[in-house]
A = this chain, B = another copy of it.
Amino acid sequence: MFKVIYPGSFDPPTNGHLDIMKRASVLFDQLEVVIAVNPQKNYFIPAEERLKMIRIMVKDLNNVKVVTWEGLVVDYAEKTNARIILRGVRALSDFDYEFELSMINKALNQKIETIFLPTDQKYFVLRSSAIRELAMFHGDISEMVPPVVEQALMRKCK
């Protein structure tokens, strides 16, 4: 079976992302989390720090690897012989954007397929942008992100 890649910006990674990683690591033989970096965007947390955070989050999942990638996700898939892009979908509004993104990726490379895994109901609210805003207002995010992420956000927003 083909390697599955799970791309995203993960800025920050949430318990919802972790749930997808755990479930996908059970379903698929090999999973690679790809932190997609757009050099023209400003991120809340530097890519290197997100890489470290996610590595800590998945350290017990033996078939999961984490990398950063600057470029088109389909090019990473092509280069590393992955055929499946995995995306978590939380709700209808997510799906709209995701559907379009999957069609663009299909147009760029016909061989690579996108599959969607629905987010667990417990994690519906965990949009990274909302978590950044909560952290800035010192809202309690301990149920929303893994401990390593919570500590980093608290340091950052002091």
Contacts and interface: CB of A to CB of B under 8 A. Distances in A.
A91 to B, nearest CB: 7
A106 B144 CA distance: 13
Interface string A45-82: 00000000000000000000000000110000000000
Given A102-B118, A107-B143, A116-B116, A91 B89 contact: no
Q: How many copies make up the complex?
A: 6
Contact of A125 (B107, B113, B125, B143): B107
A27 B117 contact: no
A154 interface: no
Contacts of A120: 106
A14 to B, nearest CB: 12
Interface string A32-51: 00000010100000000000
Nearest to A118: B102
Contact of A121 (B89, B95, B121): B121
A115 B104 CA distance: 20
